[in-house]
Amino acid sequence: MTPVDAAGPAGRAASTVRGRHVLGSPLAVVAILVGIVASLAVSVAVVAGVASGVRTATRRLRSATPVAAPGHATVTESMSILTANPFGPRYTHTSWTVRAGETVVVEITSYDDGAAPLTGPQTMYDAVLGTVGGTEVAGGKAISSVPNGDVSHTFTVVGLGLNLPIPAAPTGKSVTVVARFVPTRTGTFTWQCYAPCGSGSNAMGGPMSAKGWMEGRVRVLQ
């Protein structure tokens, strides 16, 4: 009896242990499965979180582009030269503000198909000056000057050394001039058109003397 009794509790214990073990095995598997599912869920959440973070960062970058730090941004200033008024041509968007060190894309679309050749010392403004690469793209072609007889207007900022001659548009059409420049000085600079595109005997009346038609301001901030 004694050996049996002695073996009894031991056997029960063993059986219990085995039972626990047998019983514990599916629990362990379930626990492992739950663990795997949980860690997968965490991984998915982390990946989704990272992706969402990337998207947010990209959105921030895109929305920040127009006002990004100097030296890294590219901004576009679009102007038009309209002729749809009885008094002659005029520029739109005549005052703009940029930052020193950023690349400014100046895009000027002229609807003026009449030429106003430069005269006297202003004849030098038939050349493109102060742009990236020393050129402008006019009607899709990169050029470094406009034949003086074809000049219709200029966009000239003496204080920034920038000059864009605007050729006359094809009859009844428009021409777009695009150039890039990087302002390096801060301050408020006057730009003006040097082509005698106004009225009167010296062609300096009308649009040329109307404030804000053929002249304006470029503010360059730090």
Helix (H) or strand (E) segment spanning residue 104: strand 103-110
Nearer to Cu ion, 105 or 210 (CB): 210
**Residue 214 — left, alpha, or beta (φ > 0 → left; ψ -120 to 50 → alpha)?**
alpha
Q: Which is nearer to Cu ion, 169 or 195 (CB)?
A: 195
> H or E element: which one contains 141?
strand 141-143
**What is the nearest approach in angstroms of Cu ion to the Cβ of residue 67?**
31
Record the tokens describing residue 164, joined without a space: 């864009």
In contact, 213 and 207? CB cutoff 8 Å: yes
Alpha carbons 122 and 164: distance in angstroms, whole number:
13
102 vs 179 by CB, closer to Cu ion: 179
Is 102 or 136 the residue whose CB approaches Cu ion more closely?
136
Of 161, 155, 167, the closest CA to residue 194 belongs to 155
Cβ proximity to Cu ion: between 179 and 214 the closer is 214
The footprint of Cu ion (CB under 5 A) covers 153, 193, 195, 197, 214
Containing 157, the helix (H) or strand (E) segment is strand 151-157
The minimum distance between CB 194 and Cu ion, in angstroms, equals 8
Q: Which secondary-structure segment (H or E) carries 33?
A: helix 2-64
